[in-house]
Amino acid sequence: MRHLIAIFAVVFGSAGCASYMTPGGPALLAQIGGGDVADTAQQPSPQFPLSMVAVRVQAADYRSLSANGYGKGRFSVIAPPELMTPPQLQTVAHWPQVASVAVFDASLLPASFESLADLRFAAAKMQADVLMVFTVATRFRIDGHDRDPASKIALGDKPDADAAVSSTASLAFVDVRTGFTYGATQADASVGGLADAWGSDATLDGKRLEAERQAFAALLVAAGKSWDGIVGRYR
């Protein structure tokens, strides 16, 4: 009998300890630009149409339930980008004056990243002209408090009705040769109903992915408009 009580105590104790780890943070695009100051300040003279390479970057040692960051150093790379679907890649390919668009060949990536210059070097090997680099910042707000990236959320009592997860997706178009930033944009999305997804880390993570996908879809719309302006300015 005591043996059975001990088993039940372990089972219920384990259930009470269920938790969810929030995803890692974003990469700070403004801080990892890198490159020579004179080069990045120089206005490039792009020869349209241009070839693009899309890449998602996140904070160093990024982890989520669906993806792990690759590489050491100041930031990590999500390869493949996860959020960018083949149809979305085709949408970018049909933007004006885009000759082609691809995601990184992982074999060309270095083992460590100190600045976007490392990615530009890899993009040059793919004969790309523009680096389309994006990152996602995701925040859980529970019981009136924002949870930090890579922090543990106990899946005990359900949160208040206002609990939500929000994502901000940011993107920059960077010249591969010089590091000059043609333009940057961002978009936001928020998803509520976390109390209904409180049963497991998988269902809660589904809400996180929903918010990130909505933010990224909105980002591509904003990025398309930004690209139209870039083409009009430099062509």
Domains, the chain:
20-39+47-234 (3.30.160)
Q: Which residue has the tokens 């090997």?
A: 125
Average pLDDT per 10 consecutive residues for the chain, totaling 235 residues: 45 60 97 69 85 97 96 94 91 98 91 96 96 98 94 90 95 95 98 91 96 98 98 94
In the chain, % of residues over pLDDT 90: 78
3-39 pLDDT, tens digit per residue, is: 544 444 344 444 455 899 999 999 999 999 876 655 5
Tell me what pLDDT residue 38 has. 54
Q: Which residue has the tokens 């333009």?
A: 183
Backbone angle region of 31, left / alpha / beta, with phi > 0 → left and psi within -120 to 50 → alpha:
alpha
Cα 51 to the center of its chain, rounded Å: 21
159-187 pLDDT, tens digit per residue, is: 988 899 999 999 999 999 999 999 999 99
